Structure 1
Amino acid sequence: MRRIITFGTFDVLHVGHIRILKRAKAYGDHLTVGLSSDELNFSKKGRNPIYPYSSREELLSSLRFVDEVFMEESLEKKREYITQHNADALVMGNDWEGKFDEFKDICDVIYLPRTPSISTTEIIEIIRDVHS
């Protein structure tokens, strides 16, 4: 069995998220998602996620191509997470191109093109503009 791992916040779940998760799963038999904790999201982006961890975890877990979701609490623990989950490949969006090459010694590292013209940040900005 080939095990795939990916990481993200997956806030305001949208078609771009769905497409990259489906494509990630196509690289193996089992897809594990490291889902950023609310605290990690705040430290990365300087804002709390729109949806709390429990809601984001429920949404991701309900997707038929996601086999497992766990809480990512630290960016510095990626190597540990990859090892713990016996991942054969790490799949990330190409906006991270080259940033995870350090893990090529323990698994394949694959960068996939993102869905153009859609991002959570953009969606949040549009909603804020409409309601201000």
Structure 2
Amino acid sequence: MRRVVAQGTFDLLHPGHVHYLEDAARHGDELHAIVARRENVTHKPKPILANRQRRDMVAALAVVDEAHVGHPEDIFAPIERIDPDVIVLGYDQHHETSDIEAALAERGLECQVERATAREPRDDEVLSTGDIVDRILRRRRAAGGDD
């Protein structure tokens, strides 16, 4: 059995997240998704939704075999526990493949690192949590409401 890990913030699930997880699942037989803890997200605004809520939403997707909340201090602890054959990074994630490979090697973990494909928006889709939030705020302002 070929075990795959996908990881991300997964805040306000959208079609881009689904594409990423489906793409990652194609790399193996079992997909584990690691949901970043709110307190560990430093490269963009903190997630709107709680850790457990984001994990539960990701776990509800049929393509995901198991969803986990990341470790509070060591982002590689879940990787050691899951022992994947491949880690699939999102096409636009800020991680460098070579940096992840080096960190895995330093820990003695043998695991491929791949990059998922991009997905172009269709019709009026929004494929970014930040863009979803911006659209909501614009529409609420335009409607004169703030609820």
Shared fold per TM-score greater than 0.5 = yes
Contact 1:79 1:103 (C-alpha < 8 Å) held by counterparts: no
Report percent identity of matched pairs: 29
Which of 114, 117, 129 is 2:118 aligned to? 114
Q: TM-score, normalised by structure 2?
A: 0.76
- Quote the residue 2:54 is aligned against: 56
Give the ranges of 4+ consecutive aligned residues of structure 1 lying more than 3 Å apart after TM superposition.
102-105
1:98 deviates by: 6.4
Query: Equivalent residue for 1:87?
Result: 84
1:38 and 1:97 mapped to 2: Cα distance? 16
Contact 1:40 1:73 in 2 (8 A): no
Aligned CA distance change for structure 1 residues 97 and 45 (closer, same or farther; 3 Å):
closer
Name the CA distance, whole Å, in 1 between partners of 2:93 and 2:38. 21
The RMSD of aligned alpha carbons is 2.1
Structure with higher helix content? 1
Match of 2:98 in 1: 101
Higher fraction of strand: 1
- Structure 2: how far apart are the matches of 1:100 and 1:72? 19
Mark the CA change 1:103 to 1:45 in structure 2 (over 3 Å): closer, same or farther.
closer
Determine helix, strand or coil for the equivalent of 1:77: coil
Residue 45 of structure 1 aligns to a residue whose secondary structure is: coil
Q: Is the 8 A contact 2:71 2:78 kept in 1?
A: no
Gaps of at least 5 residues in structure 2 are 122-126, 142-147
Q: Describe the superposition over 1:87-117 as per-residue Cα deviations: whole angstroms up to 9, x where unpaired.
A: 1101011223761323434211110122234
Residue in 2 that maps onto 1:15 = 15
